Amino acid sequence: MRRQPGTELGEDQLPVSTPKRQKRTATVNYRDHEVAADEATEAASPSKRAKSTPRKSNDATATSGLNPPGLKTPTHKSKATSLFATPTKRIAASTPSRAINADRSAKRKSVRLLLEQDEDDVWDGADRLAEEILEEESESAAVVNENPDLRQTIETGTNGAKNKRSPTPEGELPPHERYFFQNRAGPPRTSNNNLNKVNLLTHEEYFEKLAYHQDPNLSEKDFLLEVHQRSFPQWEFELDEDFNVCLYGYGSKRNLVQQFADWLYLRRREDAAAPTIIIVNGYTPNISIRSIFATVATAVLGADLPSKLGSQPTEVLELLQSALKSRPLRLPVTVLINSIDAPPLRRAMGQALLARLAATPMIRVLATADTPNFGLMWDISLQDQLNFVFHDCTTFSAYEAEVDVVEEVHSLLGRKGRRVGGKDGVGFVLKSLPENARNLYRLLLTELITMLDEGHMSDDELEGEEDEGREVAGARGAGDLGIEFRTLYQKAAEEFIASSEMMFRTLLKEFHDHQMITSRMDSSGMEILGVPLSRDEMEGVLEDLVLA
Amino acid sequence: MDTDIHEGEGLEPPRDGLNNQGVYIYAPPKQSKGNGERAPKRRKIHSNTAHNTVEGVPFVPLLNGEEDAESVRCRYTTYKQFWSQQDRKIQAILKEVDSKVLESVSSFVQTTSPETYNDCIPTALVTVGSNVSALSRLLSRLNSRLTTSGEGGVVAIESGDAHNLKTALKNIIRGAITNTEGSDGFQRFLTDRAGPRLLGYDLELLSDYVNRKGIKKLVLVLRDSEAFDAGLMIDLLSLLSSWLDRIPFVLLLGISTSVEIFESRLPRSSVALLRGKHFEIHEMGDCVDRIYEAIQADQDAKLWVGHNVTAAVFERWTDHFQSPETFINTLKYSYMSHFFANPLTALLADSVPANPPSTVLCEAIRNVPSFRSYCEALLENNSHEVRKLLEEDAYLLQEMQQHIKMGQTKMRHISQAVVVIQIFSKKLQISRKSSVSDVSIRALSGDLQNSPLVEDLLEAIKKADSNQLDELLSSLLAIISGQRPEFPRIEKDLKALLVTHKGAEPLRSEYHMRNTVIQTTVVKKQIKLTKSKAKLPQEVIQYTQIVDRLHAAFESYFTETLIQPQDLVMHEVFLFDFKYPLKEVFAPRSRFVTERALSTPFDYLMSTTSEAPGRQRSAKQPATAILYQLYLESGALVNVYDLWSAFFAVFEADQGDEYDERMTMTLFYKALSELKVLGLVKTSRKKVDHISKSAWLGL
């Protein structure tokens, strides 16, 4: 029945009218009979029917009943696709043009066969074709039969989000392919979760927790450090031979450098003169190249240091260089630079100056680099001056001094300043505000704390809050707590803090600007005011306000 | 654990304070601390390394620390001696290479003046290319030349010294004056001046100085002239040209691209102020070849770098933009590593500390692969000898030194052969191109024996005419006559023959095309070509004999010389061929290292306990590594909340009941901040609480 229109159409379009035609139609008819029979048996089973409905509609939309999808040459591949292919592919396979092509090629074939006047062949060919078609038909039917549900979902899925691709590609992609895959255009394909539900850490909590952290790899890290320590003599030899040393790899190398300094010192203690060692912490935010040079100059010149060093780093460096030239030192000066690629030193200017320091005779530099791409900082002439030999010193040590963890994470999340002020910040801002504002804040805090004490919240809420609050050491506290805007205004008016709502809002705006209060709408549309502080902090601030 | 940490902190409170200080002079650890109180780590270093060193020598005793101090010192002094010899040679070559440019530049500086260039600034444009260091050598030599003759001096500034015109001028003035007067002199100069105090960037100061010192040439060098801000250059040039009547400037511009590009950056009015000459410090390719040859093929050479090192060094030289210094440093480093890490190098010293023979050293010798294979070979016919070698230390040392001497001689011959091949291909114009590095690499790997290159050379001998051969022999004789006595004899015969030869044309052997006749005969409808010798005069026959002898001599010479160096007994002592340290030390794969540390942390954290940690993610790994692996799985944009949930799922699964969310959060913070500091993630504005990925593993 489904087959009928397609074949008839094909029949009509046959360009040749030879006696054979009769036979051909006969075969077609024969085929059709079989198909019909087949369909009939199929129709007998209900599951079959269920499956065929969506499919039919699909055919109607996609191919407008022009052609039977089964007419393409049945290969194993087609079998495979019907099993595993994505829905889009399935549709593509049965696009009209493709099917027509298949149709035409079949026609062409039959025409050619007719022209060759070989009856048997014609018969065989047609027969074979029919057989193949039937075979495929029953196969795909069987496949569909096996998992009708899957079929269903696939079909419905097709009209939905075609672009829904998972962020991780299937299988192993080479790195560059992965890069392009992940960077293709389109909207971000990540979930809409955000961190509002999560309590972020404060500095205090972070350090408190960290102190109790037990490192599972402590002994391995110690061992790693020990391995690196064995290279101390090698590094010293390299430094002696006018190379400078650069240590790289993951993990803080600050301790290692410190130990190297100790080692250098202890090794030379037998000599009368102790080695001059200068340690630079490149990660210190306010470090300047000039201060580094000045310190080196101080170490070299000692008491002979001129009172005025000059404000430019180059001036100091030249002073240093001429001093080294005029009075040959017995021992070289060792400069140990922690994190030479840290942001304060990272700029090209700073690196150029450091390279000149490193190229100065009698000055040996051992630097450490943390970022993976530090090599990009130096062009060929800098490399020449630095004359580094590189050693992999992966330590896995924590960047304790180098990184301000909480600050970095908050700035990464774009939440800088949200809690950064904390108690001290709020106190600081309050000090600079007029009396009225301080009174208003005091009022707000008093109200909030009384609310906490009286237990305005329901029992469960409070319990949950308390439990969690205890667990997180009071970081959460009053996050959800708030006083209604009107109520606070009335109280403020009673205490002569604000005479008009206008004025009241002006005061609040000041708090808003410094992120000292939070405001949100509750379910009834009333504005609720709160403070982003924990209870302890609130009490602390209130205390300061009252005492002041 | 907790107490441990507190103890650790309590030990060094003043030092922790120093972590936040930008820069400080190292203060030694407190002496008052008794041994018992010392931190365990520190004690470890003492026992491991500090006590284990030899006084006054940066080398460490090898062989499990059992090497005696004398051998250690011996290695160090031998290194010093070897490298200083090589360094002298290298410096001589560099000096010689530079001297041409130096001569032309200094003559330019001395002869030109604004007058000769109708009031334009005399300018030397020096293109340096990759050879950055050559310019500084040139400048320092030019400077010393000018200062000693009292004519003037050189002031060099870099783009970094010149943010704006003021600082540029300040630096020029200070540089010029301190160059001759020293920094104290500069201060005195400033204060002693009569008249109103001038600002530091007033060129009046400089003109004053020039007048006082009678300076005739002040060479101002802009080392990286392309890096200067164009606006600044324009201002500077106009200023300089206006002071030209009072200060005798000569400008020297270092250019790393090309003069045309440099010129196109400046407006025509500025370019019009300059007039001068273009100098080229020619590329250092052949200079590097010469350096290499000087180090390897020297007659007194005692240590060679093998083909691996040579290949690595030259690969870096050709693939990267490098100065010859870097090349030299790489070679130097291989010398350094050889002596630092190989206890057998003590045998290279002129006087080996043989009595009493160090047992550890002898044990080490007996473990060397080449010694073993030597013994195995010896075992077949002389087991007595082997026994003696294994049992008597003194005999072993003596024998091995003999072998080292022999090996060194053979190595010398190999490097000579390389030179011979070079001369050969130059004189006989072999079309095949072969650089020193190429031939050396092949010679050192024992590849040259029976190679097409050598066969071509031998073939070329047969076809060479007498003049070519004469030239070839005379240039080669100095190198190989000592080694092979037949060559001088052949040469003498050739000379004798040539004296009798009267013709204008040089003699050609019968192998030469001209002396073969091609006969064309038609046999059974097919053309048959037959080569046959033309009738040859007596001279040619004699010459052919000589050529045959020469060919045979060379053939045997090459077969005997071009041996595989790795077959020599004790080659470990005089052949350094580990490319590993060189590659890692000079071209670190820093990104790979970091990625590896984070993606497979147990490559580094070798477990001290027996249980081997699996590859899978677990809370046992460092937090940053866990987060990094999650990060690798994410897309270009990462939801921090989801990242956090995945992160704590790892810990939750692992720790079960003891699981502490806030602690995990702490670790998450730590890990995330580290990823940020390493530059792997950055803030994204696309969505709230998202971060974007900035590095892909393996790219």
Q: Indicate whether A145 pLDDT > 50.
A: no
The answer, for A376 touching chain B at a CB cutoff of 8 Å, is no
- For residue B459, with 0-12 CB atoms within 10 Å meaning exposed, 13-18 middle and 19 or more buried, which class applies? middle
Eight-state DSSP code of residue B196 = S
The answer, for A231 touching chain B at a CB cutoff of 8 Å, is no
For testing the chain B interface, which of A197, A215, A217 should be mutated: the one with the most B CBs within 10 Å? Answer: A217
What would the mean pLDDT of B114-129 be, rounded to a whole number?
81
What would the mean pLDDT of B124-146 be, rounded to a whole number?
82
- Comparing alpha-carbon positions, the chain A residue that sits nearest to B223 is A381
- Comparing alpha-carbon positions, the chain B residue that sits nearest to A384 is B326
* Chain B CB contacts of A322 below 8 Å: 178, 182-183
Q: Mind telling me how many Å the CA of A167 is from chain B's nearest CA?
A: 5
> Are the beta carbons of B53 and A267 separated by less than 8 Å?
yes
Comparing A358-367, B15-24, B611-620, the range with the smallest average pLDDT is B611-620
Domain ranges within chain A, ordered by starting residue: 3-158, 218-392, 422-547
Considering only residues 293 to 312 of chain A, which have any Cβ-Cβ distance to chain B shorter than 8 Å?
295, 298-299, 306, 312
Q: Indicate whether A486 pLDDT > 50.
A: yes
Which of A67-76, A255-264, A538-547, B652-661 is most confident?
A: A255-264
Q: Indicate whether A164 pLDDT > 50.
A: no
Buried/exposed A431-449: b ≥16 CB within 10 Å, e otherwise:
eebeebbbbbbbbbbebbb
| Average predicted confidence (pLDDT) for chain B | 79
> Are the beta carbons of A413 and B687 separated by less than 8 Å?
no
pLDDT digits (tens, 9 = 90+) for B191-242: 777 777 778 788 888 888 888 888 888 889 988 888 888 888 899 999 988 8
Q: How far apart are CA B237 and CA A343, in angstroms?
A: 35
Nearest 10 degrees: Cα torsion A492, A493, A496, A502: 90
- Out of A205, A372, A405, the one facing B678 most closely (by C-beta) is A372
* Chain B CB contacts of A206 below 8 Å: 666, 669
Q: Could you tell me the CATH superfamily of domain A218-392?
A: P-loop containing nucleotide triphosphate hydrolases (3.40.50.300)
- pLDDT given for residue B575 in this prediction: 87
Q: Residue A121 — pLDDT band, cuts 50, 70, 90? A: very low
Q: How far apart are CA B263 and CA B265, in angstroms?
A: 5
> Are the beta carbons of A413 and B676 separated by less than 8 Å?
no
| Average predicted confidence (pLDDT) for chain A | 70
- pLDDT given for residue A354 in this prediction: 92
Nearest one of B547, B535, B467, B475 to B507, comparing CA atoms: B467
Buried/exposed A173-194: b ≥16 CB within 10 Å, e otherwise:
eeeeebbeebeeeeebebeebb
- B342 against A149, higher pLDDT: B342
- Record the tokens describing residue B67, joined without a space: 């090497």
- pLDDT given for residue B18 in this prediction: 62
Q: How far apart are CA B685 and CA B691, in angstroms?
A: 8
- A417 against B352, higher pLDDT: B352
> Are the beta carbons of B607 and A188 separated by less than 8 Å?
no
- Main-chain dihedrals φ then ψ at residue B260, nearest 5 degrees: -60, -45
In the sheet with B121-127, reading across from the earlier edge strand, the strands are B152-157, B217-222, B249-255, B121-127, B274-280
What would the mean pLDDT of B650-659 be, rounded to a whole number?
74
- Out of B332, B663, B672, the one facing A412 most closely (by C-beta) is B672
Q: Residue B516 — pLDDT band, cuts 50, 70, 90? A: low
What would the mean pLDDT of A482-503 be, rounded to a whole number?
87
> Are the beta carbons of B677 and A226 separated by less than 8 Å?
no
CA quadruple A320, A234, B311, B423: dihedral sign:
positive
Considering only residues 271 to 290 of chain A, which have any Cβ-Cβ distance to chain B shorter than 8 Å?
274, 276-281, 284, 286-288
Nearest one of A494, A496, A492, A481 to A449, comparing CA atoms: A481
Q: Which DSSP string corresponds to A327-350?
A: S--SS-EEEEEE-TTSHHHHSHHH
The answer, for A470 touching chain B at a CB cutoff of 8 Å, is no
Nearest one of A319, A367, A361 to A341, comparing CA atoms: A367
- Out of B21, B635, B685, the one facing A281 most closely (by C-beta) is B21
Q: Residue A253 — pLDDT band, cuts 50, 70, 90? A: very high
Q: Indicate whether B51 pLDDT > 60.
A: no
Which of A224-228, B306-310, B316-320, B376-380 is most confident?
A: A224-228
Interaxial angle between packed helices B285-296 and B436-444, expressed in degrees from 0 to 180 and rounded to the nearest 10: 30
The contacts of residue A314 (CB under 8 Å, 6+ apart) are A353, B160, B161, B171
Maximum distance among all Cα pairs of chain B, rounded to whole angstroms: 113
In chain B, the domains with their CATH numbers are: 2-59 (no CATH), 99-283 (3.40.50.300), 319-502+545-574 (no CATH), 590-693 (1.10.10)
What would the mean pLDDT of A165-193 be, rounded to a whole number?
73
Q: How far apart are CA B67 and CA B52, in angstroms?
A: 10
Nearest one of A304, A488, A262, A366 to B48, comparing CA atoms: A262
ipTM of the complex: 0.83
Q: Residue B357 — pLDDT band, cuts 50, 70, 90? A: low
- Out of B22, B45, B665, the one facing A286 most closely (by C-beta) is B22
> Are the beta carbons of B676 and A319 separated by less than 8 Å?
no
- A49 against B143, higher pLDDT: B143
CB-side exposure of A319: number of CA atoms within 13 Å?
26
- Record the tokens describing residue A60, joined without a space: 């109607």
- A52 against B103, higher pLDDT: B103
Q: Indicate whether A182 pLDDT > 50.
A: yes
- Out of A194, A220, A369, the one facing B607 most closely (by C-beta) is A220
Q: Residue A9 — pLDDT band, cuts 50, 70, 90? A: very low
- pLDDT given for residue B105 in this prediction: 86
* Chain B CB contacts of A265 below 8 Å: 26, 28-29
Q: Indicate whether A274 pLDDT > 60.
A: yes
* Chain B CB contacts of A396 below 8 Å: 597, 601, 604-605, 622
Spatial contact of B334 and B305, defined as CB atoms under 8 Å apart: yes
* Chain A CB contacts of B329 below 8 Å: 243, 387
For testing the chain A interface, which of B183, B345, B643 should be mutated: the one with the most A CBs within 10 Å? Answer: B183
Q: Residue B521 — pLDDT band, cuts 50, 70, 90? A: low
The answer, for A533 touching chain B at a CB cutoff of 8 Å, is no
Q: Mind telling me how many Å the CA of B301 is from chain A's nearest CA?
A: 21
> Are the beta carbons of B605 and A224 separated by less than 8 Å?
yes
- pLDDT given for residue B32 in this prediction: 41
Q: Indicate whether A138 pLDDT > 60.
A: no
Interaxial angle between packed helices A435-454 and A501-513, expressed in degrees from 0 to 180 and rounded to the nearest 10: 80
> Are the beta carbons of A179 and B699 separated by less than 8 Å?
yes
